[in-house]
Amino acid sequence: MLVSYLTLGYPNREQFLTLLKGLVDAGSDVLEIGPPPKYAKYDGPVIRRSFKQVSSQGYDMWALLREARDAVSVPIVILTYLEEWIPTLEDFLIKLKDIGINGVLFPDLLIDFIDEYEEYVEAVRTHGLKSVIFTSPSVPDPLIQRASKLSDMFLYYGVRPTTGIAIPITVESLITRVRTLVENKLVVGFGLSDVEDMRRALKAGADGVAIGTAYIEEIERGGVKSAIALARKFRGVLDGS
Partner 1 sequence: MEFQEDLVPKYWYNIIPDLPKPLPPPRDPPDSEFSRIELLKRIMPKEVLRQQFTVERFVSIPEKVREAYINIGRPTPLLRARRLEEMLRTPARIYFKFEGATPTGSHKINTAIPQAYFSMEEGVNHLVTETGAGQWGTAVALASRMYGLESSIFMVRVSYEQKPQRRTIMQLYGAKVYSSPTSLTEYGKKLTSQNPDHPGSLGIAMSEAIEYAMTNGYKYLVGSVLDVVVLHQSVIGLETINQLRNLDEEPDVLIGCVGGGSNFGGFVFPFIGAQKGTKYIAVGSFEVPKFSRGTYNYDFPDSAGLLPLIKMITLGKDYVPPPIYSGGLRYHGAAPSLSMLIKEGIVKWREYNEREIFEAAQTFLQAQGIVPAPESSHAIKAVIDEAREARVKNEKKVIVFNLSGHGLLDLPNYESMMKRMS
Gap between the Cα atoms of 84 and 117, Å rounded = 15
CB of 200 to partner 1, least distance (A): 12
Catalog residues that contact partner 1 under the rule CB under 8 A: 39-42, 44-45, 110-112, 114, 135-141, 143, 160-162, 165-170, 173-174, 177
Smallest gap from Cβ 185 to partner 1, in A, equals 21
Measured from the CB atom, the residue of 45 and 222 that comes closer to partner 1 is 45
Is residue 60 part of the annotated active site? The answer reads no
Is 207 an active-site residue?
no
Decide if 10 contacts 216 (C-beta within 8 A).
yes
Residue 44 exposure: Cα atoms within 13 Å on the Cβ side: 19
Total count of residues recorded for the chain = 241
Catalytic residue among 29, 43, 67, 119: 43
Nearer to partner 1, 161 or 223 (CB): 161
C-beta of 196: minimal distance to partner 1 in Å? 15
Nearer to partner 1, 52 or 232 (CB): 52
CB of residue 42 vs partner 1: minimum separation in angstroms?
A: 7
5 SS3 class:
strand
Contacts of 161 (CB under 8 A, 6+ apart): 42, 136, 167, 191
Active-site residues, by number, are 32, 43
